[in-house]
Amino acid sequence: MYKYKDNEGLVDLHVHTTASDGTLTPTEIVAYAKSKNLRAVAITDHDTIGGLEEALGAGDRLNFPVIPGVEISVDHQGKEMHILGYYIDIASDDLKENLQKLQDYRRERNPKMIRKLQELGFKINLAEVEAEAGGPIIGRPHFASVLVNKGYVRDKQEAFDKYLAGGMPGYVKKEKLVPREGIELILRAGGMPVLAHPKYLKEQGYAQLAALLSKLKSFGLQGIEAFYPNHDARDTETYLRLAAEHRLLVTGGTDFHGANKPDIDLGTGTGELQVPYEVVLKMEELRSGADGR
């Protein structure tokens, strides 16, 4: 069903900009997507819609379809889960207020991470990480960049593996919404909630994933990100099957972060990813209520 046909074109529905922890601006992303002959792009920054106005403006100017999105980190029984929201209303005050709260949680965490890294012997301060971020969303990739720039680690992956990943000595957990709150926030803003990169969940067996999806669907989940660079063919098959069984849409994207994830390119991921435009058509169909779900 989701076999890519040459003339249908491809999309990328999971993209980070400088508004969160990507390194290309929203305008640069739209221009890059257009230059790669994609059919559409969705901007999904972590916990912020700060890049969307610019992205939508660039889409208008360059005559390229841009879907306004967001990626909300939620706490799922102590483990991280990411919920993507598509077609959100960027004027929603409710959404703005709640995202501001999530940014406040980051602001509480950042000095604690600095202190831990200092205790590990690194000369690093908050101003350096803020400068690296260049905006209100400060994420662990920005800490990683500073550690790389100072020569403490060879690359960002080493920074995560040794210090910044969950459970590592530089990591500090931040307060988060729970899955139901993240899903409901997206729904209230008129958006379509989609479970991001299921491969990263603690649930891995089919039955476990099925139970989780049933629960998330009861909260209002509408889709699952089946196409993702870290999903192998078997994973993708599994997620397509789960989606069909739970009457969920499937989506896909690369999680492009520019130079912050140098192995991942827009549209193609590590080279093989193909997210068919048909995915967007199905999303629009659901939004217009055409398939009666």
* Binding site residues, ligand AMP, CB under 6 A: 21, 46, 73, 139-141, 157, 160, 165, 257
Q: Can you tell me whether residue 232 is helix, strand or coil? A: coil
Query: What are 71's strand-pairing partners?
Result: 46, 84
Residue with tokens 């193909």: 274
Nearer to ligand AMP, 51 or 139 (CB): 139
Cα separations in angstroms, 240 against 2, 223, 236, 237, 279: 9, 10, 6, 5, 12
Query: What are 269's strand-pairing partners?
Result: 265
> Given candidates 47, 54, 255, 278, which one binds Zn ion under the rule CB under 5 A?
255
Q: In 10 A of CB 22, how many CB atoms?
A: 27
CB of 126 to ligand AMP, least distance (A): 14
> Reading across the β-sheet that carries 66-76, which strands appear in turn?
11-15, 40-43, 66-76, 79-86, 192-195, 223-227, 249-252
CB of 41 to ligand AMP, least distance (A): 18
Residue nearest to ligand AMP (CB): 139
Query: Site map for Zn ion, 58-87, x if CB under 5 A?
Result: -------------x----------------
Residue 144 contacts residue 150 (beta carbons within 8 Å) = no
Name which of residues 138 to 197 contact Zn ion (CB under 5 A).
none
End-to-end Cα spacing for the chain: 19
Name which of residues 19 to 48 contact Fe ion (CB under 5 A).
21
Q: State which H helix or E strand residue 31 sits in.
A: helix 26-35
Nearer to ligand AMP, 197 or 217 (CB): 197
Binding status of residue 45 toward Zn ion by CB under 5 A: no
Q: Using CB under 5 A, which of the segments 19-27, 28-36, 227-235, 254-262 binds Zn ion?
A: 254-262
Q: In 10 A of CB 74, how many CB atoms?
A: 19
Nearer to Fe ion, 227 or 278 (CB): 227
Query: What are 43's strand-pairing partners?
Result: 15, 68
Tokens of residue 67, six digits = 């879907």
Binding status of residue 278 toward Zn ion by CB under 5 A: no
CB of 160 to ligand AMP, least distance (A): 4
Query: Site map for Fe ion, 181-200, x if CB under 5 A?
Result: ---------------x----
- Which residues of the shown chain bind Fe ion in the complex (CB under 5 A)? 21, 82, 196
- Which residues of the shown chain bind Zn ion in the complex (CB under 5 A)? 71, 255
